[in-house]
Structure 1
Amino acid sequence: MTKYSATYAQDRAEIEDLMARYLFAMDYNDFDTYADTFTEDGTLEYARGAVTGRENIRASARTFKEAVGSLYQDVDGNPAILRHVLCQSVIRVEGDKAWHTGFWFETANDGPRLPDSGRLTPTLGTFGIYEDVLVRVDGEWKFQYRNIKNEFLTGRESGAANPVLAMDRLA
């Protein structure tokens, strides 16, 4: 059983807030806020490879979102609206360093139109695991390393073993 420090609840709340800001920033194309969730020398590893440094993360996120707009389209050919959801999360905090493993999925408005209203139906798109290392910088939690596992991409799957156990071994 994990032991929690007296400040765990505060740390967890701040880390969960960071993760929510990260997702809102990505979904609403706010690349400055997105990049600011990382340390200056942070690393983002995802389907297109790994990028290090806040400026490189900002540029990579922008390029990725532009590409996604051409891949995901609604029935009218418009870029689909994507929204990401973070589900269960396990967070381990030790002083000014933390580890996170969480399950995410993505929804989009790229389904068929409903016959009665003409509204687009949502679809469940992709899903996977976040593997994170976080550090507190000047009193704020930031991603030092974020690995986005995608269960639908060969070589980017999380694997068969419980990913929380791998996180505990890193900590």
Structure 2
Amino acid sequence: MAGLPDQTALQKVIDRLEIAEMQNRYMYALDWNDADVYAGLFVADGEMEWPEGRARGHSEIHDACVRIGAYFGRIAAAAAPTKASHLRHFVTNQVIDIQGDTARARAYWFDLDNDNKPRWPYVAGYGYYEDDLVRTAEGWRFTRRLIVNEMTGVSRPENPCW
């Protein structure tokens, strides 16, 4: 009979799953324009940076989510056929480095949209995230999220994944 699993290694596996799930909840909050959940995935003084701006703290991050949702809504309304449009974000290739109660993560993201008249899906954007995280009483939360949009912005020349 094998011995008990290494508790430190087991905790790292649990942490990786919790962080990946939090990153996925972020995507759902973005796509359903749920600004409360979106902002709640950051610590109180967390920071989010993307090519079009920067937000710090729950209130600014919440307002940024509302503005982003309104922007996507205007694009969809301009094409307005008979069926609704849907924007869906995806996160892939997650690499997570956990050091006790802090972590850093890198992941690719892309989004599919169908905000055109025939409602055909297309890749509307892609890039990667650079995340700094901390374990809180509520679970893992972003302290900083850098969103690099490689369709509209410039990515760094070196590998962002250490």
Normalising by structure 2, what TM-score?
Answer: 0.86
1:162 aligns with 2:159: yes
One-letter code of the match for 1:33? Answer: V
Matches of 1:159 and 1:96, distance apart in 2:
28
1:141 aligns with 2:140: yes
Aligned to 1:126: 125
Q: Are 2:132 and 2:143, in contact at CA under 8 Å, matched by a contact in 1?
A: yes
Per-residue deviation, 1:28: 0.7
1:30 aligns with 2:34: yes
Query: 1:14 aligned to 15, 18, 21, which one?
Result: 18
Aligned to 2:59: 55
Moved over 6 A (4+): none
Matches of 2:139 and 2:25, distance apart in 1:
13
One-letter code of the match for 2:81? Answer: D
Matches of 1:20 and 1:76, distance apart in 2:
29
Q: Which moved more, 1:90-99 or 1:69-78?
A: 69-78
Q: How many residues align?
A: 154
* 5+ residue gaps, structure 1: 114-119, 166-171
Q: Secondary structure, in 3 states, of the residue corresponding to 2:161?
A: helix
Matches of 1:79 and 1:145, distance apart in 2:
33
Query: 1:85 aligned to 80, 90, 97, which one?
Result: 90
* 5+ residue gaps, structure 2: 1-7
Per-residue deviation, 1:68: 2.4
Q: State percent identity of aligned pairs.
A: 32
Matches of 2:92 and 2:22, distance apart in 1:
15
Q: Are 1:111 and 1:123, in contact at CA under 8 Å, matched by a contact in 2?
A: no
Q: Are 1:74 and 1:109, in contact at CA under 8 Å, matched by a contact in 2?
A: no
Aligned to 2:5: none
Aligned to 1:103: 108
Q: Secondary structure, in 3 states, of the residue corresponding to 1:164?
A: coil
